[in-house]
């Protein structure tokens, strides 16, 4: 099993211990340390290579946001905070997930699923190649080459610099951000309905103000900035 080095930073003792207790349930996490301040964390960052940061935001001295700005080389950042108003700002700092306190195990587990998926994709990214022709995508994944018809793709999901192409059978990854991908001619049939998601109209089963259900019953969130795009699907 691949192990990921992580650091937990929270000035609240109970919250820090709660995050630590949940993290210990995942053997893939190598917990380097827990810190009560950003300043303490910086001293560890200077001498240790990390894969994951679990950060509180509102802390004395440097905030979690300011700490993240000083540690952008760490691939994964997950904010665990009692201040939901920081969500938009945090995602401008390549945040993989944003959890509002009180922290629950089920929510932490969901975040870990995203972490595992993202870090595995990042590790394998150099093995992926993409070519497009005649409404078909060819993706090289290691020594295998997959052929995917564009109209079989249910939706696109952004994972920082990568994009997942999701079909009924499998999730495929390409090393391209979703914005760049949607500018390409073959992807003009996709409608972006969220910062992290784009769908194809023919798979829409049900539309509500907060989410769209696709033909495979997948629920895709609707972003506030994409309400007009959703109206075009009606």
Contacts of 224 (CB under 8 A, 6+ apart): none
Q: Within 10 A of 182 (CB to CB), how many other CB atoms are there?
A: 16
Residue after which a domain boundary falls, among 105, 123, 141: 123
Structural domain including 41 reads 4-123
Beta bridge partners of 157: 164, 197
For 151-164, letters b (16+ CB in 10 Å) and e give eebbbbbbbbebbb
- One domain, residues 12 and 111: yes
Query: Is residue 11 domain-shared with residue 116, that is, in the same domain?
Result: yes
Q: Within 13 Å and on the Cβ side, how many CA atoms surround 134?
A: 1
Confidence at residue 128, expressed as pLDDT on a 0 to 100 scale: 45
Residues pairing with 166 in the sheet: 155, 171
Whether 101 maps to a domain, the answer reads yes
Note whether residue 145 is domain-resident. Answer: no
Identify whether 91 is part of a domain.
Answer: yes
Question: Phi, psi at residue 191, to the nearest 5°?
Answer: -115, 125
CATH number for the domain spanning 97: value is 3.40.50.2300
Quote the pLDDT of residue 224: 86
* Structural domain ending residue among the three candidates 123, 142, 170: 123
Q: What is the pLDDT of residue 35?
A: 97
Do 101 and 48 share a domain, yes or no? yes
pLDDT for position 24: 97
Torsion of CA 150, 200, 164, 180, to 10 degrees: 90
Number of separate domains in the chain: 2
Which residue stretches of the chain are H helix?
13-23, 38-45, 64-70, 87-91, 105-124, 178-182, 227-231
The answer on 37 and 105 residing in a single domain is yes
pLDDT (0 to 100) of residue 131: 55
In a domain, 15, yes or no: yes
Residues 100 and 188 grouped into a single domain: no
Task: Give the whole-angstrom CA distance, residue 181 versus residue 167.
Answer: 17
Whether 143 is covered by a domain: the verdict is no
Question: What pLDDT is recorded for position 127?
Answer: 44
| pLDDT number for residue 56 | 97
Q: Are residues 99 and 158 in the same domain?
A: no
One digit per residue, pLDDT tens: the chain, 234 residues? 689 999 999 999 999 999 999 999 999 999 999 999 999 999 999 888 999 999 999 999 999 999 999 999 898 999 999 998 888 788 778 899 999 999 999 999 999 999 998 887 776 654 444 555 667 877 766 666 778 888 899 999 998 778 889 999 888 888 788 888 888 888 889 999 999 999 999 999 999 988 999 999 999 999 988 988 888 887
d(CA 90, CA 93): 5
Mark whether 110 and 221 lie in a shared domain: no
Strand pairing partners for 133?
136
Return the CATH number at 189. 2.40.50.1020
């Amino acid at each position: 099993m691949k192990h990921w080095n992580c650091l937990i930073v929270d000035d609240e003792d109970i919250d820090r211990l709660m995050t630590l207790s949940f993290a210990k349930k995942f053997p893939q996490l190598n917990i380097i340390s827990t810190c009560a301040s950003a300043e303490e964390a910086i001293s560890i960052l200077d001498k240790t290579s990390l894969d994951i940061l679990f950060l509180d935001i509102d802390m004395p001295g440097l905030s979690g946001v300011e700490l993240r700005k000083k540690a952008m080389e760490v691939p994964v950042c997950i904010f665990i905070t009692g201040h939901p108003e920081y969500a938009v700002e945090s995602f401008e700092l390549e945040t993989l997930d944003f959890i509002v306190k009180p922290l629950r195990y089920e929510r932490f587990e969901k975040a870990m699923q995203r972490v595992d998926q993202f870090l595995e994709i990042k590790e394998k990214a150099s093995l992926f190649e993409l070519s497009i022709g005649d409404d078909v995508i060819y993706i090289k994944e290691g020594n295998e080459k997959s052929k995917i018809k564009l109209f079989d793709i249910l939706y696109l999901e952004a994972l920082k610099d990568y994009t997942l192409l999701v079909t009924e059978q499998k999730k495929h990854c390409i090393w391209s951000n979703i914005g760049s991908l949607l500018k390409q001619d073959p992807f003009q049939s996709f409608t972006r309905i969220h910062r992290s998601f784009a769908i194809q109209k023919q798979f829409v089963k049900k539309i509500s103000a907060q989410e769209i259900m696709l033909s495979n019953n997948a629920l895709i969130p609707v972003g506030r900035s994409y309400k007009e795009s959703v109206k075009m699907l009606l």
